[in-house]
Structure 1
């Protein structure tokens, strides 16, 4: 009986290792009518992005290009460029940054990379 348990456990381990090896070498093959979750998310973003841009930016945004230095954040750079004390919400600054820099995350800007930052008219 002990030998049978060892053989069954060995067979299960071998099958498990074979399935891992097959998954790593071949992966999953999708047919034309199947899409990955990432593809579906990307399509949804592309469908929504034009309307969001039109709503968020009815007029053209003014912008200045600036290289990010260590310790800079989108908020600190926008405040420095515009000499802002108060009045513009952080969410608006982030939304305008996303419009000016499609595909960039305002919470994860890279040092030594140039981005466009919004310029707001002083009122």
Structure 2
């Protein structure tokens, strides 16, 4: 009976490993999902910004990198400070799916 249980556990582990190696276990971004964007200047500040609606799996950093074609031209702490300034003190940890936020645009 012990051998049978070990055999079943081994099969489960091997099946999980095979699945991870062939299909992957990390979610991939769906290229068909496009953020709703509205380019607009910030109302209270001189930082140019873009309005983006948060989708599932998005982070402030991932959206900023998407806006800037993969490379953020400023330090992350500067980007976080600018994001908070544009959004009335909201930190990146407080963003909610389905809500729209202002994201700084750097040149």
Q: TM-score, normalised by structure 2?
A: 0.54
Question: Which structure dedicates a bigger proportion of its chain to strand?
Answer: 2
**Normalising by the residue count of structure 1, what TM-score does the alignment of the two structures yield?**
0.47
Whichever of the two has the greater Rg, that structure is: 1
| Structure 2, unpaired ranges of 5+ | 1-44
| Alignment correspondent of 2:49 | 63
Q: Distance in 2 between matches of 1:86 and 1:61?
A: 15
Matches within 5 A, 1:45-84: 60-84=46-70
Q: CA deviation at 1:84?
A: 3.9
- Root mean square deviation of aligned Cα: 1.6
Residue in structure 2 matched with residue 88 of structure 1 by the alignment: 74
Preserved CA contact (<8 Å) 2:86 2:103: yes
Task: Say which SS state the counterpart of residue 107 (structure 1) adopts.
Answer: helix
1:117 counterpart = 2:81: no
Residue matched to 2:86: 100
- The number of aligned residues is 63
| Between structures 1 and 2, the one with greater helix share | 1
CA distance in 1 between partners of 2:50 and 2:100 (Å): 10
Unpaired runs of at least 5, structure 1: 1-58
Relative to structure 2, which stretch is displaced further, 110-119 or 98-107? 98-107
State the SS of the aligned residue for 2:83.
Answer: helix
